[in-house]
């Protein structure tokens, strides 16, 4: 049995957007790409897409997954930034873009990460893969493991570089999943994606993401190109407190991928706004708990709750809660006891689990007998 929906008190709502005139949201722009996707980083709301779940060749967008795998190894303490990596002949000979490391010499993991992200160095990717997993094939298995953990069900990686392979593929939706994970999980490394140039071995190379020079709000992420994949670009930009992520795959040129990405970002920032409605751990409801060492339990969210809506339509939001009836102790922190439901203009746009913010242990015998009687009348 569930309680009726209840309206949250106005105290919980952030009213910063009230008073703005609502802008009519036009149809998303037509994008000259095989596949594209525009998403809000915080809410995960999709604002524009075409072929978002279509398997496509990623080219060097693969290196986003490579970087995520390297960052996970650093997080787990399996490698360090100061590790000195011996450059193999295979890494040195890897074709395509490179950071110009030399066979038989040692290069730090830190330098290789810079070369992978800024210079898009295939040689750096292979050197990192071999250092971490012994071989690029074994490293690709790690990439696929992490991809599944991130819910990238339509992706498969066979190498660390993105060089053409018939069994290498991802989708616009999947590549934004790992991009979002990097920004969220590794904020200490994400600023590397905004660096415009990098010098190694006396050779200076520019980041190929043209939007880093054209739009001050853009701070990443990665370009890619092969003849089969076309020109690809994953972009992330932050204006005020709103961050958008976009991907275009299979455009016609370097200029085209920048232009189409800019079009998507401008559309999203112009017509939408993202709000954080509730903070993680914020008490949203106090419940009566039966047969516990405490009669009261605070409920809240485990993660911040964000929504993305058309600009100027904040007054059309309603937040409600649905709670289980007769909560009995013991209750464990994090236990799901209800739902937060957010409606916009009468339509449900977001749901999140409402959880116990603290433990409530089972009460004593006498207290429980009293509560047993009270529950009948309640």
- Gyration radius of the chain's alpha carbons: 25
**Residue 6 exposure: Cα atoms within 13 Å on the Cβ side:** 13
Band (20; pLDDT cuts 50, 70, 90): very low
Cα torsion angle, 6, 9, 14, 15, sign: positive
Q: Which residues pair with 275 in a beta bridge?
A: 307
> For residue 9, is pLDDT > 80?
no
Topology classification of domain 35-272? Beta-lactamase (3.40.710)
The pLDDT of residue 19 is 37
Is residue 317 within 8 Å of residue 308, measured between CB atoms?
A: no
The mean-pLDDT minimum among 121-130, 170-179, 310-319 falls in 310-319
- Known catalytic residue: 285? no
- Which of 60, 155, 236, 246 is an active site residue? 60
pLDDT per position as a tens digit, 131-143: 999 999 999 999 9
Catalytic residue among 63, 72, 177, 350, which? Answer: 63
63 annotated active-site:
yes
In tens, the pLDDT along 45-80 reads: 999 999 999 999 999 999 999 999 999 999 999 999
Is 253 a residue of the active site?
Answer: no
Give the DSSP letter string of 21-58. PPPP-PPPPP--SSEEEEEETTT--EEEEESTT--B--
Tell me what pLDDT residue 196 has: 98
So what CATH class is 6-17+279-377?
Answer: mainly beta
Tell me the whole-structure pTM to 2 decimals: 0.90
Q: What is the mean pLDDT of the chain?
A: 91
Q: How far apart are CA 324 and CA 266, in angstroms?
A: 43
Q: Is 216 helix (H, G, I), strand (E, B) or coil?
A: coil
Which pair of structure tokens corresponds to residue 7? 């309206």
With a cut of 50, say whether residue 8 has pLDDT above it. no
Task: Give me the residue spans of the domains in the chain.
Answer: 6-17+279-377, 35-272
12 secondary structure, DSSP code: G
The one catalytic residue in 43, 119, 120, 313 is 120
């Amino acid at each position: 049995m569930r309680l009726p929906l209840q309206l949250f008190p106005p105290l919980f709502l952030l009213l910063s957007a009230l008073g703005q005139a609502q802008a009519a949201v036009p149809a998303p722009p037509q994008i000259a790409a095989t596949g594209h996707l525009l998403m809000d980083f915080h809410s995960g709301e999709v604002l524009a897409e075409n072929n978002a779940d279509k398997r496509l060749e990623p080219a060097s967008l693969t290196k986003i997954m490579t970087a995520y795998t390297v960052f996970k190894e650093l997080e787990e303490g399996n490698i360090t930034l100061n590790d000195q990596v011996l450059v193999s002949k295979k890494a040195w000979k890897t074709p395509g873009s490179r950071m110009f490391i030399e066979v038989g010499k040692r290069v730090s993991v830190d330098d290789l990460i810079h070369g992978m992200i800024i210079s898009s160095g295939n040689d750096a990717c292979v050197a990192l893969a071999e250092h971490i997993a012994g071989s690029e094939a074994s490293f690709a298995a790690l990439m696929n493991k992490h991809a599944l953990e991130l819910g990238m069900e339509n992706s498969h990686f066979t190498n660390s570089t993105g060089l053409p392979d018939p069994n290498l593929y991802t989708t616009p939706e999947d590549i934004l999943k790992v991009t979002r994970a990097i920004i969220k999980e590794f904020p200490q490394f994400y600023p590397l994606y905004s660096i415009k140039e990098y010098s190694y071995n006396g050779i200076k190379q520019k980041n190929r993401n043209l939007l880093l020079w054209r739009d001050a709000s853009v701070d990443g992420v990665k370009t890619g190109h092969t003849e089969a994949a076309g020109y690809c670009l994953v972009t992330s930009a932050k204006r005020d407190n709103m961050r958008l992520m976009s991907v275009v795959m299979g455009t016609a040129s370097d200029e085209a991928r920048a232009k189409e990405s800019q079009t998507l970002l401008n559309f999203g920032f112009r017509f939408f706004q993202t709000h954080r409605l509730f903070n993680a751990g914020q008490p949203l409801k106090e419940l009566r708990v039966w047969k516990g060492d405490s009669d009261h339990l605070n409920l809240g969210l485990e993660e911040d709750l964000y929504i993305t809506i058309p600009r100027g339509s904040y007054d059309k939001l309603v937040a409600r809660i649905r709670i289980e009836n007769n909560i009995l102790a013991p209750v464990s922190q994090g236990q799901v006891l209800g739902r937060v439901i957010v409606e916009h203009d009468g339509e449900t746009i977001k749901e999140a689990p409402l959880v116990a913010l603290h433990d409530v242990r089972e009460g004593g015998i006498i207290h429980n007998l009293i509560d047993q009687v009270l529950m009948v009348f309640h």
